[in-house]
Structure 1
Amino acid sequence: MDQLMSALADPERLKLYARIVLDELEPRDEDSPTVRKHLGRLVSTGLVERRPDGTLRADPSVFRRERPAEIHPAVPRRLTGFFARGRLTSIPVRATVRHELLVHLTDTLFDTERTYTEGEVNDAFRTVHEDTSALRRYCVNDGLLVRERDGSSYRRAHA
């Protein structure tokens, strides 16, 4: 709930959220860098969802308190605070906690016997968080994903 309130604490973001709730946001408005930035935060916290047809919808269910049983069981207990509605809400700053999160993500998102293109890695990370480049870079730096020298492919590191 704190993440939701934090996302709405910015007056510009709150106005954008109101426009989405009232269905007053035009598709051309999304071309603005400021709108894109604020929209990214609203989407990442689950306040707004993008439908398959590209339209935006404010989801009021995010204001209902989640019970611990609703947290995805595959997420280690220590990391549940970083997730809301199955999505990563923030990347931990502390290296040890971030590493634990990255281990969880690589174990969950990538097969050990497969090679992935950068696009496939991004698509996998995008299922949980929008900052795919940061997650990819952290995984490579932590030795969880191995990147070919020419950048053509990635694979999980052998345990």
Structure 2
Amino acid sequence: MSADLNARAAVFRALSHPARLTLLRLTWTEPLSGETLARLMNLAPATVSHHLAQLAEAGLTTVRSDGHHRLVMANHAALGVTLDTLIRGEAAPPAAEDPYRARVLRAFLRDGRLTRIPAQRKKRDVILHELAALFEPGRTYTEREVSDKLAEYHPDFFTLRCELVGLGLLARENGVYWRVVGSDAPSSPPGAVE
């Protein structure tokens, strides 16, 4: 069986549970946190997390960070594909969330906070890429602003800040930080005269 056919079948498996359909309905018009979804559905947070993982792995939801919450929203583009085009293979199945990344985020982020900084480099890099999304490209931040944002996730903001710079996700010059995106990122703070 081809990978494409398996990916298309995964969409149908993800849609086969009433709780997952309810999650898509609730997140259709606005992104919601897992905690909010658990409360609205009167389900345990772990149960909601399991169903959200199934939807994410099929590419039917998107996730974004907002402060110390991860907000889930139905992926309208993926859900807008007609059954006809999906079954006949005329449309690509939705891109699934990286299962390894999803597992790492579930293991280390609880209630919008980092439970611990992973010791394993590969897992730490997943967490650092997630935290880098807190910082907008093209904007500068003071060291205090960076520290405050990271402290919302974990008390050891110093290590996280150094790791983000060390991995090349943030750049620093004279106490000013900025998000590095792509290989053509500026070597000086945005807006600085070179």
The TM-score with structure 2 as length reference comes to 0.44
Count how many residue pairs are aligned between Structure 1 and Structure 2: 93
Q: Distance in 2 between matches of 1:132 and 1:68?
A: 31
Q: Which residue of 2 aligns with 1:83?
A: 109
The code of the aligned residue for 2:172 comes to: R
| Structure 2 alignment gaps of length 5 or more | 1-43, 53-62, 65-69, 71-100, 183-194
Q: Distance in 2 between matches of 1:144 and 1:68?
A: 33
CA-CA distance at 1:158 after TM superposition: 2.2
Can you list the C-alpha shifts for 1:22-64, whole angstroms capped at 9, x where unaligned?
A: xxxxxxxxxxxxxxxxxxxxxxxxxxxxxxxxxxxxxxxxxxx
Matches within 5 A, 1:143-158: 143-148=168-173, 150=174, 152-158=175-181
Q: Which residue of 1 aligns with 2:122?
A: 96
Matches within 5 A, 1:119-158: 119-148=144-173, 150=174, 152-158=175-181
SS in 2 for 1:134: helix
Q: Which residue of 1 aligns with 2:46?
A: 67
Q: Distance in 2 between matches of 1:127 and 1:86?
A: 9
SS in 2 for 1:104: helix
The code of the aligned residue for 2:154 comes to: H
CA-CA distance at 1:120 after TM superposition: 0.2
CA-CA distance at 1:70 after TM superposition: 4.9
Q: Distance in 2 between matches of 1:68 and 1:128?
A: 23
Q: Distance in 1 between matches of 2:180 and 2:102?
A: 24
Q: Distance in 2 between matches of 1:66 and 1:77?
A: 16
CA-based RMSD = 2.3
SS in 2 for 1:129: coil
Q: Which has the larger radius of gyration?
A: 2
Q: Which residue of 1 aligns with 2:140?
A: 115
After the TM superposition, list the runs of 4 or more consecutive aligned residues in structure 1 that deviate by more than 6 angstroms. none
| Structure 1 alignment gaps of length 5 or more | 1-64
Q: Distance in 2 between matches of 1:69 and 1:121?
A: 31
The code of the aligned residue for 2:179 comes to: R
Can you list the C-alpha shifts for 1:64-95, whole angstroms capped at 9, x where unaligned?
A: x7414258954652221101111101011111
Can you list the C-alpha shifts for 1:80-119, whole angstroms capped at 9, x where unaligned?
A: 1101111101011111111111011111x11001000000
